[in-house]
């Protein structure tokens, strides 16, 4: 991405928006191992980044992918864990990196296990990197 500074007006608007807390319309909940988990969906994080920084004001890059484990059961089912490091760069060159994790359990095929785990890891890493702004 070609570096281009934000205008002073853009900087002020972005700064003010990032200082605000997310409203309840952006937040979801689901059951987790220790109770209710609060989160935002990956598509929500991307839509918010587009609104705040502009659709062409930021980009993401996968810096690293690591397969943490792959287990194939005696029935041929696959369990896998994948971690991904993502770099989010704004048009002015400001960036943050973070790691995300994804897993798949009891998948029918290795391919479907890898696909699900990688997608989860990329989404998790993207959300984690975006929260740093």
Which pLDDT belongs to residue 2? 85
Neighbouring C-beta atoms of residue 32, cutoff 10 Å = 10
Task: Give the chain's domain count.
Answer: 1
In a domain? residue 74: yes
Q: Is residue 100 part of a domain?
A: yes
* Domain-embedded: residue 29: yes
Give the whole-number percent of the chain exceeding pLDDT 70.
100
Q: Does residue 2 form part of some domain? A: no
- At 70-101, the pLDDT tens digits run 999 999 999 999 999 999 999 999 999 999 99
The 8-class DSSP code of residue 7 comes to P
Q: Does 71 fall in a domain?
A: yes
- For 100-122, the pLDDT digits (tens) are 999 999 999 999 999 999 999 99
Residue 68, domain CATH: 3.30.390.80
In a domain, 79, yes or no: yes
Give the structural domain span for 29.
8-130
C-alpha to C-alpha distance for 101 and 65, rounded to whole angstroms: 10
CB 91 within 8 A of CB 3: yes
Among 30-44, 54-68, 77-91, the minimum mean pLDDT is found in: 30-44
1 has a pLDDT exceeding 90: no
Residue 45 lies in a domain: yes
Read off the pTM.
0.92
Residues 6+ apart with CB under 8 A from 82: 65, 66, 67, 68, 101, 102, 103, 114, 117, 118, 120, 121
Average pLDDT, the chain: 96
Asked if residue 63 is part of any domain, the answer here is yes
* Residues shown for the chain: 133
């Amino acid at each position: 991405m070609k570096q281009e500074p934000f205008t002073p007006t853009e900087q002020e608007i972005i700064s003010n928006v990032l200082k605000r807390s997310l409203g309840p319309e952006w937040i979801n909940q689901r059951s987790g191992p220790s109770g209710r988990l609060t989160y935002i969906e990956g598509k929500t994080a991307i839509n918010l980044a587009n609104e705040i920084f502009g659709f062409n004001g930021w980009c993401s890059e996968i810096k690293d992918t690591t397969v943490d484990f792959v287990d194939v059961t005696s029935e041929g089912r696959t369990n896998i864990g994948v971690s991904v490091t993502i770099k989010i760069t704004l048009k002015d060159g400001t960036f943050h990196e973070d790691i995300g994790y994804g897993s798949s359990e009891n998948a029918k095929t290795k391919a479907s296990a890898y696909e699900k785990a990688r997608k989860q890891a990329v989404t998790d890493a993207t959300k984690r990197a975006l929260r740093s702004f």
